[in-house]
Structures are given as structure tokens and as C-alpha cells.
Structure 1
């Protein structure tokens, strides 16, 4: 059951990556269109199809060690994107917006969902652990990557709000003025990031399907076929989902909270119940569970309401 939640979460994050690609390429090249097999592809849908075609070969790779270098490019891209926001603030409006609310309680469920979705890489951890040359360093790698991600996410969020205030969009790159060099750099970095991480995200899904169908792990033809189906289906769904922020909020509120907050607490209680759990630990777990349930219920309801309202 827990594995199912994790795989669905990874699948939806893969979809959101393609939505991100489509939105930003459409901003970079507005009005693009072409005919493909009798269908008219234009704007966002065209670029989602192109992004899917680019990431497809990376999903066929057997060796995750190669993907490590690709993902490292994504890390550099994230840092450059944050630097581009600093550049935008210096060059344009500055870092202070008047008439902006510091705290908007109505947006709290969505914000908490988005916060949790920032750390949805947990389902990839076993794959990374097993592919490391020296997996004794896994804990250290996990700590360093979590700290780096937290700092970068925090900087991006604060910069976006300081520059654009309440007008900040679900993708801050969509706020940046068209034609500026820093906008092109920021969008380029935003495009590189999902492309670099897509294959790493879908690798556990492909492996799980291979195992379910009792196919040999890493078998060439089977792996190519399964990963191709995964990429094509994510592209089709991404083409019909016009709401990046709401989708990410739903993933964070429902799937991420279930997989990273509620299930671990329940598993801990089940595993260590026989040995005896200290009262302070029980109190802490109950507190974490209450926060998790609050985010899951309010965030899921709010995000689904927003998604339905867009149709």
C-alpha cells in the first residue's frame, strides 16, 4: 500500500515536470505550432511533446551512475535559477513590494502542500542507495542534499515573494518580463532541471512494473517498452493539466504527506510497540500525525477544489 502511494506520487511529479517544461517553453517561444500525424500541436502541448521526446532516451539507461551526472547538471541549474531571481530583483523592481500581506491563512493549506512536495524524492532513495559505489556514505549524502535543497527552495520562495509580492505565480519564471536576458537564463535553467531529473524519478516505477510482470530486471527490450509507455502516458496527462501549482499542491497535500509523515509514524508505532515506546516519543508522534492529518485533509480539499474550478 505504501509503495503504491510512492509510485503514484512519482508518476504525478513526472507529469508536473512536463507541465513545467510546456509552460516555460511556451513563454520563451509564444505562438509556436506544428502538424504531427494529422494533429495540430501548438503552444504548451507542442512543447510537452518535445520535452517527452528529449527525456525518453534517458529513461532507457540501465546504469543509474550515468544519471548521477545528469542530475548534477540539474543541481547547478537550480543554483543558477536562484541567482537569476537575484539578478531580476536588482535590475527591475527591487526587493520590496508595498501592499502585500505577510500572512494569508486562506492560502496556508496550499502552501503546506507545496512545502511537502519539495521533498518528494524519498521513493528514489532505495534506487540511489543500491546504485552507489560506497553506500556507507548514503546518510551523509542524504543530509547534505536535504540541506542544499532546503536553502535553495527557501531562497527562491523568499526572493519570489520579495520581488513580486501577492502577484507571484505558481512558477516564478512566468512573472519575469519577456525578452530580458535574466528571464531567458532563468527559463533555460528551469527547463534543464526537470529534464535532468525525470529519468531518476521514473526509474523506480519502471523497476516496479518489471517486478510485477516478473520480467528480468534491467532487460533491454522490456525496459525500453515500459519506460516508453510511462513517458507517453505522462505526456498525455500533462497536456490536459493546465494548473501546475494546484497539481503540485495536491501531490504534496495528499501523497507526500501520506508517504513521508503519516505512514512512517504509523510504521514506527507498529515496529517498536512491543519493545515499549517512551511517552515523549508517543507525544511527538501524535503531534506529527495531527499536523500531517491537518495538511492532508485541508490541502487535498483545497487543491481538488482549485483543480475542479479551472475546468
Structure 2
């Protein structure tokens, strides 16, 4: 987005067009959207994380929630610096120019790609429903769980419009820009993070108390095989990749299609989306470790996108924040904590992934 040109166009539109009434989502709908965005398949690995990290990890969960809540407020303040800022990449561009937009976009797209890989790794649960579904290609054993999951979600990625999937997942550029009353955004963040933290913490504690040190990377893999309740739980879990996979990958495929010479070609669109799904299958087969992939995404990508970049963008856009005071101390503390969590977590997760290859 070129903010200078956009400002001129905006001023012309204000003169030529009558002012329209403000529209947007209500407080409660925004809270629902926020909870939907914060809730994901990562909750399945929390009992395993608690078993590995001990009870101290619950305190770290609470600490990270508080830090992310505060950086969410910083993002809102960044958006308030310019009326044309609607998305996270817009904030990056406003703060650091085109390079800032590129960095934010890369982190977003890579994270989305790996989340799509997670959904396929989640196919481990299919072994509970369809055991012994494996075959070999070029001497490599390929378990049917990953292939079956990819075949199920593949047709959903061919949809040019995601209207058919919109009812199961709220898609919005930003929570803040979608609100009718943006002044209530801080309350939305508070409600969302408190509710999500309680939900995640409860899942971690209950899963750990039920299965103890024998927990697997996904708590659903510890459930009894032949019970009907287990099958219901697994089917419910598998609804997540079926309904969200296309929504997760669409920003990536859209960005690729926009750079191609035949962006309006339906055949090319299907080819690109099929190739993307195929690539996630290859990665999922190469690194079939749900817990470690989750740890890498959380440590490197999520910490950078949720903690480090918001602080850096805010300091760049708000000169007053750079003056010595309580706010600067808090931001520096978040940067230090984020760097520590990111470096240690990324090193540990990559070490575990390499160890199990």
C-alpha cells in the first residue's frame, strides 16, 4: 500500500461522496471472532507440554497471555496512527516501509503454511479410526492418514470464493478495524485472552491428570481405541482441518496468483492450490511430529509476530514511547522476554525435530 497516494485518493473520495453511516461488528461478535481466532489445534498438545515442562509451564502460559494481550493493545495504537491501516502488513509498511511490510508478510505466510502442515499431521488421529492404512512409494512407507486427510481437504482449496466455509470460521483483516466501536477493543482483548487462557490451562491440567507422564503429542492419541466416545472426540477434532485448511492457505495462494501473469486463469488457480497441498503433504510426511512442529511455530514464528514485531513497530511509530518511562521499560522487558523465549524454544524444538528425523 502506498500511503501517500492512498491519502490523496481518500481526500478526493471525501469530497465527491456523501458520508456513509459507520458499520462494523458488535462487541460480543468481535469477542466471538477473537476467541475463534485464538482457539486452534494447539490445545491438543498442551497436556503434553505440561508433562514435559512441569507445573512451571502453566505460569509461563499465563505470562505469555499477559504479554500478548499488551502487544495487542500496542497494535491497536499503531492502527490509530493512520486511518488507512487495516491489516498487520499495513502496520509494518507504515513503520518500516516496504521492507517492513515484506517481513511481516513473510512471517504471516510461513506461519500459515506450517499451520496447514499441522492440520495434516493431525491426521495421526485417523489411525484410531482406520488402522493399517499404509502403502509404499519408491520404497518409502506412506501412512494413509496423511494422504486421506489431504484428499479430504484438497477440494476445499479449489474454491475461488470461501463463502461456503465462512460460517465455520470468522475471517477478518483485523479485529480492531472490523469493530463498530474501536474504543472497546481493549476490553475485547481482555475477554478473549482471559477466556482462552482459562480454556487452554484447563485442558492442559485435565489431560495431564488423566494420562500423566505417558501423554503423547496429541492428547486424543491417548484415548481408548474402541470406545464410541473416543471416535466422537476424534471426528470432532478432524472437523477442524476440514473447515479451516482452505481458509488458512487462501492468503498464500492468493499472493502467489497475484504475482503470476495469468492470475485470472481458473486452471492455473487449481494447479497452484493443488501444488500447495502437495507440498504440505511432503513436509508433513518428512516431519510427522505434531508437538515439535507446534513448539517451533510457537517459539519462532508466533513469538516474533505476536511479541517482537508489535513492540518494534510501536516504538517506530510513536516517538513519545521512546522516552524513558514505565511504558518503555515494559516494552523493553517484553522484547527481552520474547527474545529469550524465542531463542531457547526455537533451538529446543529444532533439536528435537532433527533428533527424530
Q: TM over 0.5: same fold?
A: yes
Q: Distance in 1 between matches of 2:267 and 2:125?
A: 33
Match of 2:147 among 30, 46, 49: 49
User: Residue in 2 aligned with 1:249?
Assistant: 295
CA 1:155–1:233 in 2, change beyond 3 Å: closer, same or farther? same
Give the drift of 1:299. 0.1
Is 1:209 equivalent to 2:311 in the alignment? no
1:140-151 matches, within 5 Å, as 149-151=196-198
Once the two structures are superposed, residues 116-163 of structure 1 have per-residue CA deviations (whole angstroms, 9 ceiling, x without a partner) of xxxxxxxx7528999xxx764895987776565444333322210121
Match of 1:69 among 159, 167, 171: 167
Q: Distance in 1 between matches of 2:174 and 2:267?
A: 21
CA 1:269–1:303 in 2, change beyond 3 Å: closer, same or farther? same
Moved more, 140-149 or 3-12: 140-149
TM (normalized to structure 2)? 0.63
**RMSD of aligned Cα (Å):** 3.0
Larger Rg: 2
Q: Distance in 2 between matches of 1:183 and 1:41?
A: 30
Give the drift of 1:223. 2.6
Q: Distance in 2 between matches of 1:237 and 1:272?
A: 41
User: Residue in 1 aligned with 2:89?
Assistant: none
User: Residue in 1 aligned with 2:276?
Assistant: 230
SS in 1 for 2:226: coil
- Using CA pairs under 8 Å that are at least 6 residues apart, name the structure with larger relative contact order, 1 or 2: 1
Give the drift of 1:245. 0.3
Match of 2:132 among 1, 8, 31: 31
User: Residue in 2 aligned with 1:239?
Assistant: 285
CA 1:144–1:223 in 2, change beyond 3 Å: closer, same or farther? farther
User: Residue in 2 aligned with 1:96?
Assistant: none
SS in 1 for 2:164: helix
Give the drift of 1:252. 0.7
Q: Distance in 1 between matches of 2:180 and 2:262?
A: 30
Match of 1:289 among 335, 341, 345: 335
User: Residue in 1 aligned with 2:9?
Assistant: none
CA 1:264–1:248 in 2, change beyond 3 Å: closer, same or farther? same
Give the drift of 1:293. 0.5
User: Residue in 2 aligned with 1:265?
Assistant: 311
SS in 1 for 2:165: helix
SS in 1 for 2:299: helix
User: Residue in 2 aligned with 1:174?
Assistant: 221
User: Residue in 2 aligned with 1:17?
Assistant: 119
Give the drift of 1:40. 7.9
Q: Distance in 2 between matches of 1:295 and 1:250?
A: 11
SS in 1 for 2:169: helix
Give the drift of 1:308. 1.1
Give the drift of 1:174. 0.9
User: Residue in 2 aligned with 1:59?
Assistant: 157
Structure 1 stretches of 5 or more lacking a match?
73-123
User: Residue in 2 aligned with 1:192?
Assistant: 239
Give the drift of 1:236. 1.4
Structure 2 stretches of 5 or more lacking a match?
1-102
Once the two structures are superposed, residues 269-294 of structure 1 have per-residue CA deviations (whole angstroms, 9 ceiling, x without a partner) of 01112686571211111111111111
Once the two structures are superposed, residues 204-238 of structure 1 have per-residue CA deviations (whole angstroms, 9 ceiling, x without a partner) of 1111112333654x753333222111111101111
CA 1:149–1:223 in 2, change beyond 3 Å: closer, same or farther? farther
Moved more, 205-214 or 238-247: 205-214
CA 1:292–1:215 in 2, change beyond 3 Å: closer, same or farther? farther
